[in-house]
Structure 1
């Protein structure tokens, strides 16, 4: 894929993420802000660890001296966490809650596999798709738990009953 096409993908991800944030319903904005900032904090640190250990790399990135993906860790992934947090079916059937907490990381993983295969935006070294799935599952689940705790919501996020 050409450099121009890859840059267009990054711009498109920023655009879609910004539009997604603008479209958050007004009644959910406080919850969205907490989820967004928590996810940025978590993924920024974990992204630095992964890149510094050489498990994966981002050949095309936004900042010269920061070797992580600003687009993914600061914008796209936190935006995804926002939508998981505001639409998570707390108090609903166990099957539906499990579907939500598995579908989000599965979708992210599938997109990353396509991006890693067909572009130069990400290169796996000792990383694999299952690490992406596991890390996104854990961090999204932590985001749900933190958001429920922060807003003092008592539901079945942290336990499967």
Structure 2
């Protein structure tokens, strides 16, 4: 990965949340909520998911905790992130390897069915609503339990 590529990944994935909160939190009502999306690569090696994105996602999760405190104290808003498992969407398919990642999760997660966009969306709706008013500075995993697993049960063709 080149330096410009690495810095671009961190800028797009992590700094965008910092900038968004800085600009919009002063305009929001107390009780408002910011949400971002992260991925397991922030914590574990995911073959082929490099280019600075794993570092960017780790920075995003760290910034979520810091911003939750700072924006919570100053503006009364919450900041959380959702760590979603792989979704077999058209956009993800364009990146490549998504089918192998979905298969890998199915072979290793406690709940083997494919993750749906609806499952991620309902979690986001919960966190953004008053039902999630006591949750801030948190990474919520929506990945069929994959994050709880240690060593892989099966590697399939991903590795």
Q: Same fold (TM over 0.5)?
A: no
Q: TM-score, normalised by structure 2?
A: 0.38
Q: TM-score, normalised by structure 1?
A: 0.37
